Chains A and B, each alone.
Chain A
Amino acid sequence: DVKVTQSSRYLVKRTGEKVFLECVQDMDHENMFWYRQDPGLGLRLIYFSYDVKMKEKGDIPEGYSVSREKKERFSLILESASTNQTSMYLCASSMPGSLTETQYFGPGTRLLVL
């Protein structure tokens, strides 16, 4: 079974702090994704990566950056956390190349910025 793990289930940070959210997958997937989920809005894509050291902006990249130094690990960075970044953050991974490419998700990190 594919396993995607996220470093924390819950985080509380203060405005202005630098925040790192870590994601690790164990299936040698090439693609990795970071989403945020807010009530009524569904999952919105922040950034994705299709290879080591490669990154692409998603729909809402402002205020975030990412790092992919190793294939299995994809980090989301909030350089200076703000209260509007309070949200549920989900990481996913997939192997590209087929019509039925499925994304496999981690359990999410619920971040509260005070």
Chain B
Amino acid sequence: ILNVEQSPQSLHVQEGDSTNFTCSFPSSNFYALHWYRWETAKSPEALFVMTLNGDEKKKGRISATLNTKEGYSYLYIKGSQPEDSATYLCAFRNAGNMLTFGGGTRLMVKP
């Protein structure tokens, strides 16, 4: 079983703060790294898929970077808003069809 870890497990920030969290994954047999956002009572929603070392993706105030050589990805949120409150999941794909998920980072943004 592959080891995918996310830190921190939970995070409380004030509205307007910028924040970031980490996903670490095996650096061998890398295929892709996925980020999902999972809001309470909703379906997990795909944010980014990254495949190349050095990839950076951006969607509004959220961005992500990828380092496949050292096995980590960062997710950044600039100027957090209450609607950013969610659990952020990363998932690692190797040469197979399967995703291995991290435990998630639960973000709470206080107004």
Bound form: Cα–Cα A100–B9 in Å: 26
Range class of the A interface residue count: 20 to 34
Q: How far is the CB of B26 from chain A (nearest CB, A)?
A: 15
- Residues 87-101 of chain A, each 1 if its beta carbon lies under 8 Å from chain B, else 0: 000100000100111
Chain B residues with Cβ below 8 Å from A40 are 9, 103
Bound form: Cα–Cα A54–B58 in Å: 37
- Residues 91-111 of chain B, each 1 if its beta carbon lies under 8 Å from chain A, else 0: 101000111011110000000
Give chain A interface residues in 65-105, CB to chain B under 8 Å.
90, 96, 99-105
A62 in contact (CB, < 8 A): no
With contacts defined as CB atoms under 8 Å apart, how many contacts are there between chain A and chain B in the complex? 54
B31 in contact (CB, < 8 A): yes
Bound form: Cα–Cα A99–B30 in Å: 11
A50 in contact (CB, < 8 A): yes
Chain A residues with Cβ below 8 Å from B1 are 59
Chain A residues with Cβ below 8 Å from B6 are 42
B42 adjacent to A107 (CB under 8 Å): yes
Query: Can you list 22 A-B pairs with a CB-CB distance of less than 8 A?
Result: A35-B101, A41-B103, A42-B4, A42-B101, A42-B102, A42-B103, A42-B104, A43-B89, A43-B99, A48-B97, A58-B98, A96-B97, A99-B51, A101-B32, A101-B93, A103-B34, A103-B46, A103-B99, A104-B46, A105-B36, A106-B43, A107-B43
